[in-house]
Amino acid sequence: MGRTKVSTLFANKHNNNNYMLPYSNTIRQTLVNRPNTHKDRFPFSLFELLRRLIHSSIPYDIFFHFHSHFSLTRKVDGDSKTEEEEKVYSWLYTLAQSDKNLVFEYVRSTERGLSFTEADRRLRENGPNVPLEYSFPRWWHLLWNSLFHPFIIILIVLSVLSFITCDSPNGFIMLILVFISVTLRFYQEYSSSKAAMKLSEFVKCPIKVQRCAGRVVQKELVVQVDQRDVVPGDIVIFEPGDLFPGDIRLLSSKQLVVSQASLTGESWTTDKTAEIREDHSTPLLDLKNICFMGTNVVSGTGTGLVISTGSNTYMSTMFSKVGKKKPPDEFEKGLRRIFYLLISVILAVVTIMFVINYTTSLNLSQSVLFAISVASALNPQMLPLIINTCLAKGALAMAKDRCIVKSLTSIRHMGSMDILCIDKTGSLTMNHAIMVNHLDCRGLPQEKILRYAFLNSYFKSDQKYPLDDAILAFVYSNGFRFQPSKWRKIDEIPFDFIRRRVSVILETEGGHSQFFGRFLLTKGALLEVLRVCSFIENFDKDEISPFSSNDYQRILNLSEDLSNEGLRVIAVAIRKLEMPQICETSNGSKREEEDIERDMVFIGLITFFDPPKDSAKQALWRLSEKGVKAKVLTGDSLSLTTRVCREVGISTTHVITGPELEQLDQNTFHETVQRATVLARLTPIQKQRVVQSLQTIGNHVVGFLGDGVNDSLALDAANVSISVDSGVAIAKDMADIILLEKDLNVLVAGVEHGRLSFGNTMKYLKMSVIANLGSVISLLIATLLFKYEPLTSRQLLTQNFIYSVGQIALAWDKMDEEYVKTPHKSSERGLSMFMLWNAPVCTLCDVATLLFLWFYYKAYTDVTQKFFHSAWFIEGLLLQTLIIHLIRTEKIPFIQDVASWPVIFSTVVTSAIGIALPFTPIGKVMGFSLIPLSYFGFLVLLFLGYFTVGQVVKRLYILVYKKWL
């Protein structure tokens, strides 16, 4: 297994090079220092051996998704921050609230930067600057983890004992099962351990750093270093396109605009400035003077002081949780209970049978071999194969529906999923804007507004944005004729993220009505356009009047109303220019932009909407019909998210935002999360906590659909993690299922396949445990009554092998229509109680056969031993074959419901082989004798009685527990 090495940002070492102010030391110890308590353990220690034996996971979890990349435990509390997170948050807020001069003292740096010697020392002290440093495990370590498992150890012990007692066929069968199990687990661990190595790939880039050098007079030098070599205290210089190599406190900034999509998942940008001191009420990601590791510069320039690197950054609080071991679900807990119960029964029953057999025969080798055979019969050897066959069949079916399944376990979880958490953008919406309307200050549509917005978008050439395409598409599709050929472009003031508007200067070709002359057409963010407007056009009075405070407030109220409806708004303004004012053109002469973009006339607003997908509403309705509730978890605004949710049919009665969640106490947090259907403005960590709260407090099986870096925490926490093929690399690595189409209807088909696979798995699991336990108890009773073995070891193993192979057909069985309509979960005690209710029915049937053979055929002497073996072999094989039909449905078998043709075919073939075997030469070699026809008449009556009693028990069980499978 790999281990996470969490580097310490500031070490508690006192030496001559670590100078700092006394009070700074206290602050830093409180806010930053992280003791690294994780130590590597020698995997072969005796203590570790005992610990794993006692606390080992379920016997068949090697066939399920192996989530544990790291040895840390999962935090299940959904609302409060961990100690590590609190330290990071407190440190960032402290630096954000501090003066720039004090910030240098906190991180032990200077305005000239660090010297090369000091930077090298800090790099050795702190380690490489990556969110997580991952040690790739050695192959023999993985192999040891794969071999060291109670189920594997039991099979190996039984195999060795089989070889010792000269039962080579049985030994080889068990070794084959060991090989399959170890190979699967080794492959899964090896594949899953590589996902964490993707974490550092997207932050590799050269960084411009200011360092100081010189023996006598130190001079500042700007050098390029690898992102991994950046240390706290470095001064970095950045420009458009650069990634921030750590958490940065800005020192200077010029029109700096940053994209935080890697943390929030939303494409909107945010302004950053060094000339501000924040307070603690500002949400962390909204801090204006702090830039975070992994985010990037969209426009502007600046310098910043690196205050945190590597595992001490905000990004590390996201990724430090990735890959931690998930607690076993109810299905796995149930398997664990069954495993321990079977082990207890094996130890008790095998010991008793060995003592009785050895006391009777005085043959040690024969007694040991018989005991091993009984233990093998009690152990459901084919369970891994059956489970994986069911899941693999589901994976193939999902692949036809354009779903790629990476983890077979996720199919079982998909069938149990009752809550699906989805992001809004791209999942519910088309992820591109369409234009909705063109409104004046009173909210009435006006064609003139659309005309000027169209001309602005048509003639701008610097860069086309999606909103421009939406305006052009609206005009063309609605048949407007604005005749752009009659206009000539004079100049353009391109868009930037400080002005947040774009202007074009147009001139008409000829004199026609009101459009004669030169015009400055501007569109952009509402507040930025209003800032340069001095007049407003009143369409109702057909006049232009000075801009008043009432007009300003009316426009803001209209914009707020439109935003609450989920619409995005931009403003349009115009100014007619006199010829002498246009002294600069696009030929290269300079222009004073502020002198031109002034005293403009406000025209109106253009509204846009990211429309929901046509298929989203239908898919959500189909999921709801199947008992899967949808919750929207997004970093987008609440108003826009609410609008989209109403469009697709998601209830918006209970909504909340991330900042509001931060203010809630623990109990209120969990109650709110369970009730809310729309959760907006969430950070990546909040998404993870919402998922964990639904799992731990709500006891839900949660699926999460995400495709960004910001979704990696929630993907890792979810029971079913789903991404799309267009998602980022780390999201696809974390995902269990990858959709080739970002369509929720594909998930509906996945849910159906998941429930089919889960149901067939539960059929085999429940059928095998009651059949095996019932038959072993019957063997114990027969051993106590007779002076000879009820079945020889070879006969017992042959019987076990024949019906186990026949049960593989269960993977191709169908499910009741009622079953696939609702999600199903296996309770921890469900398997145990099911076994206790139904295993006695099998034992009752075997005892009835035993009594019939004793009293009717007098088969209790050594002379009738072969006859008894033959009769007992046939009855046991047919009983365990027919159990399939009783267990597979809640209905009456063969009357109300019939199995699929593969199961029927398997039943017929298996029964025919079992009945015919005593009449063949192979049967003679195995010690069988001929069976009279009267015995088969008894078996018909016996099995009719078995189905009658079994159906009564089934109805009583359903009445008590409200479920069957």
270 forms beta bridges with 258
The total number of residues shown for the chain amounts to: 965
Beta bridge partners of 306: 248
Contact by Cβ (8 Å): 722, 739: yes
Q: Which residue carries 């064609």 as its tokens?
A: 447
Q: What angle do CA 402, 408, 414 make, to 5 degrees?
A: 70
Identity (one letter) of the amino acid at 854?
W
Does 423 qualify as catalytic in the annotation? Answer: yes
CA atoms within 13 A on the CB side of 724: 17
CA dist 609 to 42, 369, 439, Å?
58, 75, 15
Catalytic residue among 79, 234, 401, 423: 423
**From CA 500, how far away is CA 493, in angstroms rounded?**
11
**247 class by beta-carbon count within 10 Å (0-12 exposed, 13-18 middle, 19+ buried):** buried
Separation between Cα atoms, residue 861 and residue 113, nearest integer Å: 97
The DSSP code for 542 is T
Q: Which residues contact 845 (CB under 8 A, 6 or more apart)?
A: 774, 879, 942, 943, 945, 946
Q: What would the two tokens of residue 493 be?
A: 């003031």
Locus of tokens 């992820």: 431
Pinpoint the alpha helices (H) of 100-244.
Answer: 100-106, 116-126, 139-147, 150-164, 168-193
Task: Find the angle CA(324)-CA(147)-CA(180) to the nearest 5 degrees.
Answer: 100
Which residues fall within 8 angstroms of residue 559, CB to CB, at 6 or more apart? 526, 569, 605
Which residues, in sequence order, are CB contacts of 877 under 8 Å at separation 6+?
Answer: 799, 802, 803, 910, 911, 914
Burial of 891 (0-12, 13-18, 19+ CB in 10 A): middle
How far is residue 810's CA from residue 799's CA, in Å, rounded to a whole number?
18
3-state secondary structure (DSSP) of residue 22: helix
Is residue 357 within 8 Å of 366, Cβ to Cβ? yes
Catalytic residues: 423
